[in-house]
Amino acid sequence: MSEVTVVGLGPMGSTMAETFLTAGHQVKVWNRTASKAEPLVAKGAGRAATAADGDLLVVSQISYEAMYNSLGDARLDGKVVVNLSSDSPERLRAAARWVSERGGTLVTGGIMVPPPGIGQPGAYTFYSGPKDVLDRHAATLEALSEITYVGEDEGLAMMYYQAQLLIFWSSLTSHMHAMAMLRTAGVSPLEFLPFVRETFTQLGGDGPMGYAKILAEEVAAGTYPGEQNSLHMQAVGMGHVVEALEEAGVETTVPRALQALFERADAEGRGHEGLGTVIESISKP
């Protein structure tokens, strides 16, 4: 088994360290608040003398700025830094240069599960950076999740990660708006749940409501058929949704923004096209 140092012992980092231990790896841990290492040391982890103590450093912190602060001016000659923290793609690219200037190699990643999902079936992580370096440490990193490599560009893993979070947050926030509206009419969220599940399931499927696939194909082709379901009709319908929320006394910031986006695309002369044409407005703010 291999040696790995986990830097950052919040809920995510602590779970990663414990998962590495369970998989039989030799684990050292480091955190800016040293006391957070105690539970892991009690389970068999070693104390890293510094954040740069080790050849494979797995970082899980609030941002890439935290990595700079933790590593400071340490040399990283021959070390591999696998940073699973969240930040903007351009900051990840800058971080790759920063690590390289200190003699190390950065592999970036976005882990697509919350702490309880680490090491569990179905967990996966987007990785980008030098593939040969990632491959050398794949056997260790697979303890955390399935490895999904997306390319050499160090910012690409975070673009995939942020794209997935955007879908996650916006979809679930819409679900919350829907539950809040129905609750004002005495409808329990659990009564509505079967319909929500059906919608989410169908959107990812291959049928007439399989819009994840439909939109991907339309955007790839650059054509947005709207003969049977025009954007203009969607914009009018979105206005009705906002009215229903307002009548129920529910907050409407996000739905109003969606309405404005639909209406903008319609006003730009594409109302006769399908819903997919909205991406043209999104791409040209």
Buried b (16+ CB within 10 A) or exposed e, 59-88: bbbeebebbeebbeeeebeebbbbbbbbbe
**161-283 fold:** N-(1-d-carboxylethyl)-l-norvaline Dehydrogenase; domain 2 (1.10.1040)
CB under 8 Å, gap of 24 or more: what pairs does 187-196 form? Answer: none
Q: Which residue has the tokens 């602590």?
A: 14
Q: What is the pLDDT along the chain (285 residues), one digit of tens a residue?
A: 799 999 999 999 999 999 999 999 999 999 999 999 999 999 999 999 999 999 999 999 999 999 999 999 999 999 999 999 999 999 999 999 999 999 999 999 999 999 999 999 999 999 999 999 999 999 999 999 999 999 999 999 999 999 999 999 999 999 999 999 999 999 999 999 999 999 999 999 999 999 999 999 999 999 999 998 899 999 999 999 999 999 999 999 999 999 999 999 999 999 999 999 999 999 998
Strand partners, 118: none
User: What pLDDT was estimated at residue 150?
Assistant: 98
User: What pLDDT was estimated at residue 127?
Assistant: 98
| In the chain, ranges of CATH 1.10.1040.10 domains | 161-283
User: What pLDDT was estimated at residue 265?
Assistant: 96
Establish how many alpha carbons lie within 13 A of residue 4's alpha carbon, considering only the half-sphere containing its beta carbon: 31
One-letter identity of residue 120: Q
Residues 64, 95 contacting (CB under 8 angstroms) = yes
User: What pLDDT was estimated at residue 285?
Assistant: 83
User: What pLDDT was estimated at residue 228?
Assistant: 87
Domain spanning 3-151, CATH class: alpha beta
Q: Is 133 helix (H, G, I), strand (E, B) or coil?
A: helix
pTM across the whole model: 0.92
| Length of the chain as a residue count | 285
